[in-house]
Amino acid sequence: MAEGSDGWSVAVVGAGPAGLFAARELCNLGAEVFLFNRDIKPGGLAEYGIFPDKLKMKDGLRAQFRQIIQCGDIHYYGNVTIGQDKPLTLDGLRSMGFSAILVTSGAQGTKWLGIPGEHLPGSYHAKTVVYYYNHLPPYSQIPLKIGKRAVIIGVGNVMADVARFLIHHRKIDEVTAVARRGPGEVKFDHKEIESFVRNIDLDDFDAEIKRVTPVMQSLGQDPNAARRMIDDAMARGLPKESDTRFRMRFMLSPVRIYGNEKMGVQGMEFENNTLVMDGGNVKARGLGSYSMMDVDTVVFAIGDRVDETLGLPVTGSEFVKSPHPKYPIEGVSYEVMDPKTNEDLPGVFVAGWSRNASTGVVGIARRDGVRCAAAIAQYLKDKGTPGRLNPDSVKTELLKLGYQPVEKGMLSVLERAEKARAERLGVPEFKFDTNEAMLNALSDQVTAND
151: Cα separation from own chain's centroid: 21
Q: Where are the domains of the chain?
A: 9-108+305-406, 112-302
CATH match for 112-302 among 3.30.70.240, 3.50.50.60, 3.40.50.300, 3.40.630.30: 3.50.50.60
> What rounded mean pLDDT belongs to the chain?
94
Cα 208 from Cα 276, distance rounded (Å) = 19
The rounded radius of gyration (Å) of the Cα atoms in the chain is 24
Confidence at 62, pLDDT banded by 50, 70, 90:
very high
Mean pLDDT of 27-46: 96
pLDDT at 3: 39
pLDDT at 447: 59
**Strand order across the 297-300 sheet:** 123-125, 297-300, 149-153, 174-178, 245-249
Cα 268 from Cα 232, distance rounded (Å) = 32
Q: What angle do CA 76, 80, 85 make, to 5 degrees?
A: 150
Instruction: For residue 327, give the amino acid letter.
Output: Y
Mean pLDDT of 212-219: 97
pLDDT at 2: 39
Instruction: For residue 401, give the amino acid letter.
Output: L
Confidence at 6, pLDDT banded by 50, 70, 90:
low
Confidence at 190, pLDDT banded by 50, 70, 90:
confident
DSSP string covering 256-319: EEEEETTTEEEEEEEEEEEEEEETTEEEEEEEEEEEEE--SEEEE-S-EE--TTSSS-EETTEE
What is 9-108+305-406's CATH topology? Rossmann fold (3.40.50)
pLDDT at 449: 59
Alpha helix positions (H), 134-178: 157-164
Q: Which residues contact 352 (CB under 8 A, 6 or more apart)?
A: 14, 16, 17, 18, 19, 104, 106, 365, 368, 369
Q: What is the pLDDT of residues 151-179, one digit of tens each?
A: 999 999 999 999 999 999 999 999 999 99
Task: Tell me whether the omega of the peptide bond preceding residue 223 falls within 30 degrees of 0, making it cis.
Answer: no
pLDDT at 227: 93
Cα 87 from Cα 400, distance rounded (Å) = 10
Q: What is the pLDDT of residues 429-440, one digit of tens each?
A: 999 999 999 999
Q: What percent of the chain has pLDDT over 70?
A: 97
pLDDT at 221: 96
Angle, helices 408-425/55-69, rounded to nearest 10 degrees: 150
pLDDT at 5: 41
Q: What is the pLDDT of residues 285-303, one digit of tens each?
A: 999 999 999 999 999 999 9
Cα 405 from Cα 431, distance rounded (Å) = 19
DSSP E strands in 16-99: the ranges are 32-36, 74-77
Mean pLDDT of 433-450: 82
Nearest 5°: phi and psi at 174? -150, 140
Q: What is the pLDDT of residues 125-146, one digit of tens each?
A: 999 999 999 999 999 999 999 9
pLDDT at 358: 84
**Strand order across the 9-13 sheet:** 74-77, 32-36, 9-13, 100-103, 343-350, 335-338
Say yes or no to pLDDT of 4 above 60: no
Contact by Cβ (8 Å): 256, 114: no
pLDDT at 448: 60
pLDDT at 106: 92
Least confident of 1-10, 69-78, 260-269: 1-10
Whether pTM exceeds 0.75: yes
Q: Would you mind telling me the total number of residues written for the chain in this entry?
A: 450
Long-range contacts for 49-57 (Cβ within 8 Å, ≥24 apart)? 49/130, 49/131, 49/134, 50/134, 51/161, 51/164, 51/165, 52/133, 52/134, 52/429, 53/195, 55/428, 55/429
Contact by Cβ (8 Å): 374, 329: yes
Alpha helix positions (H), 76-119: 90-95
Q: Which residues contact 29 (CB under 8 A, 6 or more apart)?
A: 1, 2, 6, 373, 377
Q: What is the pLDDT of residues 320-373, one digit of tens each?
A: 999 999 999 999 999 999 999 999 999 999 999 999 988 878 999 999 999 999
pLDDT at 360: 79
